[in-house]
Amino acid sequence: MSEATANIGVVGLAVMGSNLARNLASREGNTVAIFNRSHDKTEHLVAEHPEAEFVPTFSYEEFAASLTVPRTAIIMVKAGAGTDAVIEELLKVFEPGDIIVDGGNALFTDTIRREKAVRETGVNFVGMGVSGGEEGALLGPSLMPGGSDESWVTLGPILRSIAAVAEGEPCVTHVGHDGAGHFVKMVHNGIEYADMQVIAEAYDLIRRATGKTPAEIADIFAEWNTGDLESYLIEITAEVLRQVDADTDKPLVDIIVDQAGAKGTGGWTAQTAIDLGVPASGIAEAVFARSLSSHPEQRATTGVLPGPAEEFTAFDADAFVEQVRLALYASKIVAYSQGFDIIRAGAAHYGWTIDLGTVAAIWRGGCIIRARFLNRITEAYAESADLPVLMTAPFFREALAASQDAWRAIVATAAASGIPSPVFSSSLAYYDGLRAGRLPAALIQGQRDFFGAHTYKRVDKDGTFHTLWSGDRSEVEAVDTH
């Protein structure tokens, strides 16, 4: 049996776990115990990285015995049944006060369930969102832990030491209790879907309307990355567009099959938004855009379904590119505003206290949606923590005022010329929906009352009403059945 020499352990040594373990081992004061179901991964990691001075273990008993108390283990295994299996094994060898951290991409409702069950044994369970992929895990991820205040006392210093650093601050905070960390990570991924889709729409519009090559559009994105849009995703977009395929000498983007994959977290975000009644249309459209791309059998209707007679050509390419930039910026503001709305609604529903400004701050480094822009979100919530809609903060309101004409022009052009722009256009519809003094929802309530006696409220007096549609069509007071 190992002596208890390790202050932290990692279970699951595939890409993420092995990199996170190396990150932990590289920080002053950490000794890292490692365990993987298949022993070859453990042996391989120890052999490849002697500098990490790992404590390799080959049974859960040995793993627990190698950890100092309170034992702290980060699980990085395939989310779902794998996570439950590992928790079950750890609970056999851990004691009250010990800490199990799940760093996998768990659905937050699973985390709520697991936290409740594990708490009954006296062991602390922390669901932690980890963003940044392989490189982030090794060099510094953005970390979103939930769980109890007690476990944060032990975990805080360790997590601060391995997280990415943005403007001198580690990209980690105790997001909130039980499933709050995984919830926030899920919304992060939902925003990521929308952010990637608006970039893709901008590229497509520029390419189709100006005829510029991918390499020329790469230059445009590189230029955009020096301004308000500066972000990791814009930066890597330029890299991808510039890449030339070695086999064919063509732009790689033209060789890659145009069907986008997804691992589910965008869909979870959209589904959660629907469940919470939050109109996160940009995120949902981004998820649907990937689904549409991945149905070649349906897309074979090209040439069957009629489109506009002529393709659009931008008369002034530079002016068109600038309009696209503004449309992208405006749509991105909407996507983030919707994402933060989901977090606010989730916090209210599940009883979490989540500091929205701090969430924006810990996304500035390590994660995929890191961007200059996030500072503005932190400032907006610092000024007004109860801001009902993020995009109404002065900075964003002014940005939208400056970009809305271009945004409308681009959405109109896209519609007229048959270029799909689902997130550009749905974001604009959402924006105009919020602006509208009066919505046709009144008519929908009338229809609902007609076929289902669902009742309605009146603008001119209190109470709930129903029209006797199949009778004499007089109005009666009714019980609210909304």
Ligand X SMILES: NC(=O)c1ccc[n+]([C@@H]2O[C@H](COP(=O)([O-])OP(=O)(O)OC[C@H]3O[C@@H](n4cnc5c(N)ncnc54)[C@H](OP(=O)(O)O)[C@@H]3O)[C@@H](O)[C@H]2O)c1
Q: Nearer Cβ to ligand X, position 76 or 163?
A: 76
Asked if 190 touches ligand X (CB under 6 A), the answer is no
Residue 192 annotated as catalytic? yes
User: What is the size of the binding site for ligand X (CB under 6 A)?
Assistant: 22
| Residues 20-49 within binding reach of ligand X (CB under 6 A) | 36-38, 41
Q: Which residues on neighbouring strands pair with residue 145, listed in sequence order? A: 128
Binding mask 76-115 for ligand X (x = CB under 6 A): xxxx-xx--xx-----------------xx----------
**Torsions phi, psi for 352 (to 5 deg):** -100, 150
Q: Nearer Cβ to ligand X, position 42 or 338?
A: 42
Residue 13 C-beta: closest distance to ligand X, Å: 5
Asked if 357 touches ligand X (CB under 6 A), the answer is no
Residue 147 C-beta: closest distance to ligand X, Å: 17
Q: Nearer Cβ to ligand X, position 24 or 79?
A: 79
Residue 291 C-beta: closest distance to ligand X, Å: 20
Residue range at the interface with ligand X (CB under 6 A); choices 74-82, 267-275, 307-315, 393-401: 74-82
Q: Which of 185, 201, 285, 332 is catalytic?
A: 185
Residue 62 annotated as catalytic? no
Q: Nearer Cβ to ligand X, position 39 or 208?
A: 39
DSSP-assigned letter for residue 476: E
Q: How far apart are the first and last CA of the chain?
A: 63
Q: Nearer Cβ to ligand X, position 58 or 469?
A: 58
The number of residues in the chain equals 482
Answer yes or no: are the C-beta atoms of 195 and 335 closer than 8 Å.
yes
Paired sense of beta strands 142-145 and 124-131, if any: antiparallel
The correct pick among 15, 69, 117, 441 for binding ligand X (CB under 6 A) is: 15
Which are the contacts of 386, defined by CB distance < 8 A and separation ≥ 6?
A: none
Asked if 12 touches ligand X (CB under 6 A), the answer is yes
| Residues 273-292 within binding reach of ligand X (CB under 6 A) | none
Helix/strand/coil (H, E, C) string of 135-198? HHHHHCCEEEECCCHHHHHHHHHHHHHHCCEECCEECECCCCCCCHHHHHHHHHHHHHHHHHHH
Q: How many Å apart are CA 233 and CA 229, to the nearest integer? A: 9
**Torsions phi, psi for 267 (to 5 deg):** -60, -40
Exposed e or buried b per residue across 50-60, where buried means at least 16 C-beta atoms within 10 angstroms of its C-beta: eebebbbbeeb
The correct pick among 2, 43, 133, 252 for binding ligand X (CB under 6 A) is: 133
Closest Cα to residue 378, out of 361, 364, 400, 355?
361
Residue range at the interface with ligand X (CB under 6 A); choices 70-78, 161-169, 206-214, 322-330: 70-78
Q: Which of 192, 201, 212, 285 is catalytic?
A: 192
Q: How many Å apart are CA 264 and CA 197, to the nearest integer? A: 16
Q: Which tokens belong to 293?
A: 């791309």
Asked if 378 touches ligand X (CB under 6 A), the answer is no
DSSP-assigned letter for residue 456: B
Residue 367 C-beta: closest distance to ligand X, Å: 9
Asked if 215 touches ligand X (CB under 6 A), the answer is no
Q: Which tokens belong to 114?
A: 């697991």
Q: How many Å apart are CA 74 and CA 159, to the nearest integer? A: 11
Q: Which residues are catalytic?
A: 185, 192
Binding residues for ligand X, rule: CB under 6 A, are: 12-17, 36-38, 41, 76-79, 81-82, 85-86, 104-105, 130, 133
